[in-house]
Amino acid sequence: MARNHAKRLADSWREAGLAVDLVEYVDTSTEPGGYVLTGRSQTSVMSCRCQSWLYRRWLRRSRQLWTIVIAVRAGQGDAADIDGPMPPPARQAGFAAAWDHEMAWAQVQDWIDGAAPLPPTLDAALASLR
Q: Compute how many other C-beta atoms are within 10 angstroms of the C-beta atom of residue 55.
A: 14
Q: Please give the residue range of the domain that contains residue 85.
A: 2-127
pLDDT at 88: 77
pLDDT in tens, the chain (130 residues): 788 999 999 999 999 999 999 999 887 777 777 999 999 999 999 999 999 988 877 777 888 899 999 999 988 765 556 666 777 788 999 999 999 999 999 999 999 999 999 999 999 999 998 7
φ, ψ of residue 39 in degrees (nearest 5): -120, 130
Q: Total structural domains in the chain?
A: 1
Q: What is the DSSP string of 56-98?
A: --TTS--EEEEEEEEEEEE---SS--TTSPPPPPPEEEEEEEE
Q: What is the pLDDT of residues 99-108, one digit of tens each?
A: 999 999 999 9
